[in-house]
């Protein structure tokens, strides 16, 4: 008999999120599937515009409707499809058992309320009736994310904090109700390198303390290597590769993933020129008949340009959407 604790905490199946515009249907997320194990960190990586953030908003049911809509798929949280929940049921889940750290804290935090009041409001919305106990919990959370002098900073407004401190407040807000799943959308964007390292260390530490599963949205492969257990690589609204992190960095199997890795600056590089992937990402409203990366791929054939490759399993926890994979065989 299968142990129920072995089941994924979150399972996304063929998620499709479309936006209806004057120029046509914008397929921002086009058949994305992945799963997140309890207590594990999954990285979703890809360049800007690949659909990472829309995927995270789709999982949290935060897609603005209209113009956005769910065109298909399932989002299973502990086996229950949250796309079928009522708005009231979803509000109880969101901010409670599912938390999210947004990309830009200055636009996510309300500028006219203190940071303490915003954490208290979230707590009281999820069952904390006693305001004094909720305030004590807010101070406890600010201390947990290592905000200096939490007893006094709890009454500060967002503009009184630095960028790194606001990001810590966003993490405290997301974790206040002990969520089982935390989604972090580019949590270190616009922060300097030192603060980035502190935030990532904080997230690793919090995962160890709380046991929360984390979905980390990023374009930085270095962040993925440092913090994640598994990784999903997205391109033009689709998943092109999935793998445990160690396997991905040891033997990436999709030409796009290989291109991303080649573009990472290296201290031992023989030249000061950065590698680039030629061409540009096709617009999501353009429905290409084959692989969406074919126009930029050095291994593409006529078959690649005419037929979309399925996401096929190539090993334990590994899958790739490429007709030429495994790459070693293709290159042989």
Query: What is the structure's pLDDT at 5?
Result: 53
Residue 269 banded pLDDT, cuts 50, 70, 90: low
Token readout for 73 is 């798929």
Residue 312 banded pLDDT, cuts 50, 70, 90: very high
Query: What is the structure's pLDDT at 331?
Result: 42
Residue 330 banded pLDDT, cuts 50, 70, 90: very low
Decide which of 1.10.10.60, 3.30.465.10, 3.40.50.300, 3.40.1010.10 is the CATH code for 4-235.
3.40.50.300
122-142 pLDDT, tens digit each: 999 888 989 999 999 999 999
Global pTM value? 0.89
For the ranges 91-95, 119-123, 149-153, the lowest mean pLDDT is seen at 91-95
57-75 pLDDT, tens digit each: 999 999 998 899 999 999 9
**Residue 274 clears pLDDT 80, i.e. is over it:** no
Query: Is pLDDT larger for residue 119 or for residue 332?
Result: 119
Residue 268 banded pLDDT, cuts 50, 70, 90: low
Q: Which residues contact 56 (CB under 8 A, 6 or more apart)?
A: 44, 100, 183, 185, 215, 217
To which residue do tokens 């109880």 refer? 92
**Residue 287 clears pLDDT 50, i.e. is over it:** yes
Query: What is the structure's pLDDT at 272?
Result: 67
User: Any idea where the domains of the chain sit in the sequence?
Assistant: 4-235, 255-332
Query: What is the structure's pLDDT at 258?
Result: 93
Taking residues 9-19, report their average pLDDT: 96
**Residue 18 clears pLDDT 90, i.e. is over it:** yes
312, 278, 310: which is closest to 291 by C-alpha? 310
To which residue do tokens 């002990």 refer? 178
**Residue 329 clears pLDDT 60, i.e. is over it:** no
For the ranges 39-43, 170-174, 193-197, the lowest mean pLDDT is seen at 193-197
Taking residues 156-178, report their average pLDDT: 90
Instruction: Decide: 35 and 242 in contact? Cβ < 8 Å.
Output: no
Q: How would DSSP label each residue in 143-209?
A: HHTT-SSHHHHTT--GGGS-HHHHHHHHHHHHHTT--SEEEEESTTTT--HHHHHHHHHHHHHHHHH
Query: What is the structure's pLDDT at 328?
Result: 63
Helix residue ranges, H only, the chain: 52-59, 87-93, 105-108, 115-125, 131-144, 150-153, 163-175, 193-210, 221-227, 245-250, 255-262, 302-306, 327-331
């Amino acid at each position: 008999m299968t142990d129920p604790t072995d089941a994924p905490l979150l399972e996304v199946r063929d998620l499709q999120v479309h936006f209806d515009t004057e120029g046509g249907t914008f397929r921002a997320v086009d058949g994305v599937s992945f799963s997140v194990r309890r207590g594990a960190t999954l990285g979703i990586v890809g360049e800007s515009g690949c659909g990472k953030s829309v995927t995270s908003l789709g999982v949290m049911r935060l897609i603005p409707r209209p113009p956005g809509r769910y065109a298909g798929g399932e989002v299973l949280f502990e086996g229950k499809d949250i796309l079928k929940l009522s708005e009231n049921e979803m509000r109880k889940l969101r901010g409670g058992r599912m938390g999210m750290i947004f990309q830009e804290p200055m636009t996510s935090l309300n500028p006219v309320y203190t940071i303490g009041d915003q954490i208290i409001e979230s707590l009281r919305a999820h069952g904390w009736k006693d305001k004094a106990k909720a305030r004590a919990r807010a101070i406890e959370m600010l201390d947990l994310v290592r905000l200096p002098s939490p007893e006094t900073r709890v009454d500060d407004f967002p503009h009184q904090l630095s960028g790194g401190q606001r990001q810590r407040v966003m993490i405290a807000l997301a974790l206040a109700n002990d969520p089982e799943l935390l989604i972090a959308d580019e949590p270190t964007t616009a922060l300097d390198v030192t603060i980035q390292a502190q935030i990532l260390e904080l997230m690793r530490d919090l995962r160890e303390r709380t046991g929360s599963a984390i979905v980390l949205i990023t374009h930085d492969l270095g962040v993925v290597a440092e913090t994640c257990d598994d990784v999903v690589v997205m391109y033009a609204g689709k998943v092109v590769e999935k793998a445990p992190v160690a396997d991905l960095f040891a033997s990436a199997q999709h030409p796009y993933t290989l291109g991303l890795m080649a573009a990472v600056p290296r201290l031992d590089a023989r030249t000061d020129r950065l590698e680039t992937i030629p061409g540009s990402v096709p617009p999501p409203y353009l429905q290409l008949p084959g692989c969406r990366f074919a126009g930029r791929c050095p291994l593409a054939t006529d078959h690649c340009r005419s037929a979309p490759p399925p996401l096929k399993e190539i090993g334990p926890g590994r899958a790739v959407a490429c007709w030429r994979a495994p790459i070693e065989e293709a290159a042989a």
